Amino acid sequence: MQTPIPLRHLFRNSLLVSVGEQCQPALQIHRMTGERVPFFFDWIRTPSAAMRSIFMDAGQFFCSGNWELLDQGVRFWDKATDLRFLHEFAVAGEAFPAGDAQGCQMIDVARVEGHLPMARAKFRHLQQKTLHAIRSAAHTILVRYEENTDIDQAIRLAGQIDALFGPIAPRLNILMVSPTLDQDQMHGNALLLKVAAGEKPSGDDADWDRIFRRAAEEWLSPGADGER
């Protein structure tokens, strides 16, 4: 029986980048490739409309007074970009034992304003780094996890992602996954797949391996379709 080619070898000539909606795609990309290179959306909660923020003037990020703490004070909401940050700011107190904020600590509100310039500089760097990587790569696969969507919504969102990033990517494919999709579908340069919910924040490793292998079959095999 032939041994399957390791996934990281299949994707060695492709750039995989998370575009949200949460940390799961970044965690799975890092696990699969063995690389820990951070990109703009990796550790951010990114509503679909907030993906446009990567093309905004970074001077609009993290502006004094233009923010709010959400979800019992554990998440920082940048109002200009609509991005939500869980890991960026200093915390205070014990982690919540249960509920939606389980395992998270409240952000220390008194230290938020002082950290804004540093956060702005960090994400300006990540913005420039991510856009440069996409522009420079021969082939980019953008990966997005949606907690709750259907096939029609997923198709529309894939179109939005293509409209945003297609003009700067020499070759672009979009891998969108969700535990609520009721069917798998190829749509243009996008692959829309159901993924197991998993019991940990990074998701179900075995099912993500299945998804990555399906993407490789569609886009990386000789004569594969789905090129932009």
pLDDT at 228 (0 to 100): 42
Please tell me which residue, 198 or 60, carries the higher pLDDT value.
Answer: 60
Does the structural domain 7-53+137-219 have CATH classification 3.40.50?
yes
Q: Is the pLDDT of residue 99 over 50?
A: yes
- Is 0.85 surpassed by the pTM of this model? yes
Question: What's the pLDDT tens digit per position in 179-210?
Answer: 999 989 999 999 999 999 888 888 999 999 99
For residue 228, give both structure tokens. 């932009």
Q: Residue 225, class by beta-carbon neighbours within 10 Å (0-12 exposed, 13-18 middle, 19+ buried)?
A: exposed
Separation of alpha carbons 73 and 155, rounded Å: 34
Mean pLDDT of the region 15-23:
97
Task: Kindly list the domain boundaries of the chain, sorted by start residue.
Answer: 7-53+137-219, 58-127
Please report which confidence band the pLDDT of residue 92 belongs to, taking 50, 70 and 90 as the band edges. Answer: confident
Question: What's the pLDDT tens digit per position in 122-162?
Answer: 999 999 999 999 999 999 999 999 999 999 999 999 999 99
Mean pLDDT of the region 103-118:
92
